[in-house]
Structure 1
């Protein structure tokens, strides 16, 4: 029966809204508790109860939670957690602590469990930093990027204990909001004000204004760290600066990521008051992300970022079937820069560089690199930069830089002062950001010598040591180096030999393959190049025929080119799934070749009629092993066979060994005959004794004096060249006639 006042105006005090909100929180509390206690796996085990019990027994007070599990249990509750995490996440954490107390009962007397940290995992695809707008503030987000800097570990209060200066009474267990937010102390004493209200005890006037101070010994603190996240280089549009975001990580998420790691972050988009001298504080907010979970993509075995590329089950099946086809190496080499004519051996070498060998850990803890370094030396206009640009596109992780615009700190790492905290933090350079991929350095010869020296450790040990501003640490730079450089004289001068190269022997020996690319004048070859270039410009060339939807089953060793995206995914899949080793038969072939090269009785000498008794070192032996392993990795084969070893030896012969035999690498570490090296050292010592420091002498006079002593003029010229490059002898102005000894 309807009342007489139905439809009339009602008076509301606002308490109904608060009661509804409290009721909503109470319902959420009970549902969270039911979810944690009742969720089962496919084998009917209680997932979160078992994880909580195991972690608490091992003193690991955190709980990983899958958001999709909560969504299956109650979609409405999962949506509330997604839209209002600042309100519902504290309820979820309190429920986790209650369930943890239940599953660990009984415990020792007076033993209280610390607060359990929730690590939330979202199954959605991560967004870019450019997609995070103001309408997503205070909501759950998932983003990906590269960590470029990390602060030290600091402490932030979780609960405060305050004490009044006047009445000396405590105000215990004052909760502080998580994140970068602080706590504003009360202006008046709460205890004295309540006493004065009821007419007992002291009056409110007995306690001063701003009476409270913090008791540090009675506060509970949590560790936290500030990270700087940068967009992945491949996601930055051309001509724009990469965007950054500040990450707040606490408790068990601290020190989980280091500069150079590619991470996927789940967190709450938050804001804090802007603190700047140049703009008003009211209304200006600084955004940051309070992190709930961090997933690292390029650590240990999984260094290729395969999860970010999204390889589906169908593509995985297609890749495994493709790896069984004959001539996989030929197909991949033809797919590298199809718009560039010729250079088949260089393209095969780049294919080996993209896949890489196997990284090995020695019993004493030392790592042997599996990444292959390669350099292209030669004339301008031979498509070296185009090859580097293509590698940047098809490599799963790649950073492109130019030698002229790169410094030592930009390539390795730098230590800068944080503008907010005024403390020193590290920022990773190009080789740190390319961890697990390839760094392409164009115009390598335009770099300063001091900057090139800085990457010695990064190329061989694949680490970058920092000892600056009180920071002593080591960063990973597990990447391949693909460098391109021109001759000192512009075009390669056959009569100059090693004078075409303006590099120190130490940097050259760290490259596994060195190709000398020359612009050869051949009428037949020139016509073929012209026809190819013109067909590409007309739009009907080989580069324009690449079908992005082509099936890999239709590709053969004679025809067919893999699309760039499929090639990129295939490289990532092989690097992630395969770490081949060589069979004893393949190792025997490489061993015999190494011994014969040292003694000068190799098959290459019999074919070419040249003396190959060049004392190549263990570095060149390891380079051949890495190349053979990369050839096996292209086929997803667990072991490299004899054919891989022979092809690796052939690639080494047509690249580094061929350059050494033509005299282009004379003086480089490992490619100078030991007897000739002893003569060079003897001439250098005599030359330093012969001339007074600061004196001037003609180059021709030096050569004539030492020729009379029985030394070859070629050796004398080489010694002078080395001493000029090291700065021990300075030419007067630009002429090479008068020399001044330091």
Structure 2
């Protein structure tokens, strides 16, 4: 490399027309001087390392120079560069690209040949992508007129990604009178033909565009919305703001709807349509004809995730040695008790519910996502098998379900919190809207798409009506398929669903099944790996401990998050050793549950302080990225034995959730999450036993009775059991009589003959019709499905 003194500062840049068009190039122009200084510095050893550190090519063989502002600031000795970036960023970026072009293709071509990216490449425009610009970080809602023309860095979620369109940058026009050719550049993509012919003696105003000589580049407009909610960390409660960002050249298709990105670019005003390019667009701007302008960001770089130059550091990011050492010390201090520690720390303000909290922690860590070959060995066609575990909390009001949801959302590295009573099916999954500039249809991400590879918490799950049926595909296939307005696409939605629901009548009715209490379809319930009931049952000792817990919690000073108000005493441990309600555990033996509960309560009684949710977040991110546990043969035996026991007892099940192979897959996922929580690569027998204990706890009051067996007919039959018995009787009569159609009077008569125990027979027939078991034929006739 040469020194600055060896470079000709009087040299007129050969790439001037590429970056500045037909503008006159004078040797005393400030841009020429800056290009000469930058070319001299890029020719030095430090400058060449900065230039050649990250080079790539676009599909049309343009050179992309990814320039880190922090590195440039620490190594470049030219102060005019940073002044230009602050006051005239467009000119400064063009000067950087022009000087890089000078060095690569003119001043030092022999050094460029040593790089594999540039080997055999003809001179092409060098595109500068600026990143890591912390001085320009600004919140989206803080973008004002003072930022116009300046470099800004914004962070948010992509809620809309428009189509990729060619943007015409310059075009030749042929005069219709004298035939002279005039070349016109389009600033910001606005179609602007010449006003009058510049030919001698010709003042014609009629021009024909020459499309064959037009220059164009790829362009895409995305809409970025600020991250809000429990995991957003700021401005919660305000209406989220959004800004449009224009991506060009190599940045198009670099992000999709639902991605969290950090965009560094130039804040630009626009009072006209930006998407015209060739003048064919008829879309009119909202502000056309007025002095107001809309603001958009002309992107210089797009980075996935909030980076160092974003609004805030990436939540849960484990990127330095301090975080790694913190995780190592935490696990060395609590070796084998990480699950108990995290369950203790998840939501200390809610008393008890240890097994529920442990299940939520396992949902945060999740199992391993697998891909199964669908066409034999060596086939490239593979079907994904989800590793995320979904959890449903059903309980009486006032049990703290919403607080647990928010705690899970804060502990997740990417959490989205929504409420079902004000959410629609398209708001949860994806919708199709019109692009304001082009008028074309484009996809808009919903909550589960924005929570991709994270957690989507849905409160008031029972208030969604029929909208929750849109989650059937999301919870199993983990993608959202859209076919609207000519758009057919599948968006990734690899999110863990954690939902909370209240019983329909305000209080859970133990005589009815789970479906009857919350009015959710069995297909949807079967997709949840864990379903916990939180029942408000009177208990003198438990109520006394709970009241003491609440009094201590409200008696503490503010600002002490994640600090327990009450520890378990020996009496309460003996009283509640059996789990929820106190009575069940005394009539069954469950070593896995007792062992897990004892570990959680031992940590709490010893005065162990809960860890902050940010620490749990970092552990979750690290474990999901670096730990992929596999089942051992001993763990397989434990899980298989539990599944076969539940399955054998399920033969005569008349209520609750049927035991299918999905429960076995759920236990496998949870066992992997249990090992991942401890940062282990192999699932041990203890992990499997803990998961079996959590699974059995989730099945209580839904499938398993107070004696530890699957609910069977004969003790207390609910509405679901009577409906099943009624349909079985109808099926037997249909086979015997050779017909499948019955009148309303016959339906009522059959119910009386078998002494059907229902309060309202009319309501039962309507529900069976709605469920598709009885099909209404008209004239008071019904047919079996």
Tell which deviates more after alignment, 473-482 or 582-591. Answer: 582-591
CA distance, structure 2, for counterparts of residue 665 and residue 153 of structure 1 = 57
Secondary structure of 1:454's aligned partner:
helix
Other-structure match for 2:182: 171
Change over 3 Å in CA distance of 1:130–1:111 after alignment to 2: closer
Q: 1:38 aligns with which of 44, 49, 54?
A: 44
Other-structure match for 2:450: 433
Change over 3 Å in CA distance of 1:77–1:637 after alignment to 2: farther
Change over 3 Å in CA distance of 1:717–1:583 after alignment to 2: farther
Q: 1:469 aligns with which of 480, 485, 488?
A: 485
Equivalent pair of 1:600/1:613 in contact (CA under 8 Å): no
CA distance, structure 2, for counterparts of residue 213 and residue 438 of structure 1 = 56
Query: 1:726 aligned to 2:771?
Result: yes
Query: 1:121 aligned to 2:131?
Result: yes
Other-structure match for 2:666: 623
Q: 1:224 aligns with which of 212, 215, 219?
A: 219
Change over 3 Å in CA distance of 1:514–1:75 after alignment to 2: farther
Secondary structure of 1:258's aligned partner:
coil
Q: Deviations over 1:476-504 (max 9, x none)?
A: 11111111112233211222234324111
Secondary structure of 1:307's aligned partner:
coil
Query: 1:101 aligned to 2:105?
Result: yes
CA distance, structure 2, for counterparts of residue 137 and residue 263 of structure 1 = 21
Query: 1:307 aligned to 2:318?
Result: no
Aligned 1:81-160 pairs, distance under 5 A: 81-83=84-86, 84-102=88-106, 103=109, 112-124=122-134, 126-160=137-171
Other-structure match for 1:578: 627
Q: Offset at 1:635? A: 2.4
Other-structure match for 2:243: 245
Tell which deviates more after alignment, 555-564 or 486-495. Answer: 555-564
Tell which deviates more after alignment, 240-249 or 492-501. Answer: 492-501
Secondary structure of 2:363's aligned partner:
helix
Q: Offset at 1:652? A: 0.9
Equivalent pair of 1:181/1:272 in contact (CA under 8 Å): no
Other-structure match for 1:15: none
Equivalent pair of 1:597/1:613 in contact (CA under 8 Å): no
RMSD: 4.2
Query: 1:637 aligned to 2:680?
Result: yes
CA distance, structure 2, for counterparts of residue 61 and residue 387 of structure 1 = 50
Q: Offset at 1:144? A: 0.7
Change over 3 Å in CA distance of 1:55–1:692 after alignment to 2: closer
Query: 1:654 aligned to 2:697?
Result: yes
Q: 2:303 aligns with which of 295, 303, 325?
A: 295
Other-structure match for 1:212: 207
Other-structure match for 2:8: none
Q: 1:186 aligns with which of 164, 176, 194?
A: 194
Q: Where in structure 1 are there 5+ consecutive unaligned residues?
A: 1-17, 196-202, 300-304, 548-554, 732-738
Change over 3 Å in CA distance of 1:560–1:699 after alignment to 2: farther
Change over 3 Å in CA distance of 1:362–1:666 after alignment to 2: farther
Equivalent pair of 2:338/2:678 in contact (CA under 8 Å): yes
Change over 3 Å in CA distance of 1:580–1:729 after alignment to 2: same
Q: 1:412 aligns with which of 419, 426, 429?
A: 429
CA distance, structure 1, for counterparts of residue 224 and residue 734 of structure 2 = 53
Other-structure match for 1:703: 751
Tell which deviates more after alignment, 262-271 or 384-393. Answer: 384-393
Q: Offset at 1:575? A: 3.1
Secondary structure of 1:560's aligned partner:
coil
CA distance, structure 2, for counterparts of residue 283 and residue 692 of structure 1 = 73
Equivalent pair of 2:526/2:657 in contact (CA under 8 Å): no
Secondary structure of 1:521's aligned partner:
coil
Q: Offset at 1:539? A: 2.4
Q: 1:481 aligns with which of 490, 497, 507?
A: 497
Q: Offset at 1:528? A: 1.1
Other-structure match for 1:69: 71
Other-structure match for 1:402: 419
Secondary structure of 1:414's aligned partner:
strand
| Equivalent residues, number | 667
Secondary structure of 1:138's aligned partner:
coil
Change over 3 Å in CA distance of 1:721–1:683 after alignment to 2: farther
Change over 3 Å in CA distance of 1:131–1:534 after alignment to 2: same
CA distance, structure 2, for counterparts of residue 60 and residue 727 of structure 1 = 60
Aligned 1:235-384 pairs, distance under 5 A: 235=233, 237-273=235-271, 281-297=289-305, 307-309=314-316, 311=318, 312-324=320-332, 325-326=334-335, 327-363=337-373, 364-384=381-401
Q: Where in structure 2 are there 5+ consecutive unaligned residues?
A: 1-23, 274-283, 374-380, 565-601
CA distance, structure 2, for counterparts of residue 120 and residue 21 of structure 1 = 27
CA distance, structure 2, for counterparts of residue 614 and residue 447 of structure 1 = 21
Equivalent pair of 1:684/1:719 in contact (CA under 8 Å): no
Change over 3 Å in CA distance of 1:375–1:188 after alignment to 2: same
Other-structure match for 1:6: none
Equivalent pair of 1:298/1:436 in contact (CA under 8 Å): no
Alignment TM-score, normalising by the size of structure 1: 0.80
Alignment TM-score, normalising by the size of structure 2: 0.76
Tell which deviates more after alignment, 224-233 or 535-544. Answer: 535-544
Equivalent pair of 2:315/2:413 in contact (CA under 8 Å): no
Q: Offset at 1:568? A: 3.2
Equivalent pair of 2:456/2:497 in contact (CA under 8 Å): yes
